[in-house]
């Protein structure tokens, strides 16, 4: 896990030019978070626009005031930092490994809170209403979505997706590439292995193996991925 310097409730946007990869729904949400963080931060960061290798709704982007800049490859010779606006952890990891461009800033929406002795990895994102308490570590390009709570002494790996309304209680360990569905709760001391998928609304009471899908209350294994 690659981490930035510890944060203490500050906005982690460096003086850089930012491009969001993906013009889809998650990418547009991320663009709004970047703009809010930039407006409220005392620096000179700037969201240049959006890139995407697929089809995008140019009219919708225009209405949002977002410039479409072309393909991901078109950014290769430009002095920019990429943030990956895709919800799937595997796709985000593939984009990160394929581009390999530096250490983008961590992004914290102004309504998110971060307690003492916490650290956010490059490209990590805290969305609206997220609460991170104390002694929490969040890895590279991991996304903590709207109104999620990350309690004390949690460790979250790289390229993790934490969906809206998730609660990670104390001393939880999340491996790389995990997807945690909306409204799930992970109880104290639980470890979730790399590449696992936690179903929406699940209550995870015991450790989850790598590359395993669980769901339900209490969560039980559905399939080995």
Residues 6+ away with beta carbon under 8 Å from 212:
193, 196, 197, 221, 223, 224, 225
Residue 11 annotated among the catalytic residues of the structure:
no
Q: Catalytic one among 109, 141, 143, 152? A: 152
Reading the block at residue 139, the tokens are 């890895």
Backbone angles phi, psi at 143, to 5 degrees: -115, 120
Pairing of strands 143-144, 17-21: unpaired
Closest CA to 13 of 36, 54, 43: 43
With vertex at residue 134, the alpha carbon angle to CA 34 and CA 137, rounded to the nearest 5 degrees, is 60
What residues are labeled active site?
152
């Amino acid at each position: 896990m690659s981490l930035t310097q510890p944060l203490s409730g500050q906005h982690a946007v460096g003086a850089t030019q930012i491009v969001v990869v993906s013009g889809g729904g998650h990418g547009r949400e991320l663009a709004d978070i970047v703009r809010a963080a930039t407006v409220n931060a005392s620096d000179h960061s700037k969201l240049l626009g959006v890139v995407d290798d697929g089809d995008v709704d140019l009219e919708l982007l225009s209405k949002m005031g977002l410039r479409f800049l072309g393909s991901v490859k078109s950014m290769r010779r430009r002095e920019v930092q990429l943030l990956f606006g895709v919800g799937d952890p595997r796709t985000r990891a593939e984009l990160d490994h394929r581009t390999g461009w530096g250490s983008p800033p961590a992004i914290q929406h102004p309504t998110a809170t971060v307690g003492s002795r916490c650290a956010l990895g490059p490209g990590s994102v805290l969305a609206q209403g997220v609460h991170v308490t104390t002694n929490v570590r969040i890895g590279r390009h991991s996304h903590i979505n709207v109104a999620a709570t990350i309690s004390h002494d949690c460790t979250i790996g790289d390229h993790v997706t934490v969906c809206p309304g998730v609660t990670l209680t104390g001393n939880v360990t999340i491996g790389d590439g995990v997807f945690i569905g909306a409204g799930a709760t992970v109880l104290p001391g639980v470890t979730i292995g790399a590449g696992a998928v936690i179903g929406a609304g699940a209550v995870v009471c015991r450790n989850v193996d790598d590359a395993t899908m669980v769901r339900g209350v209490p969560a039980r294994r559905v399939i080995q991925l």
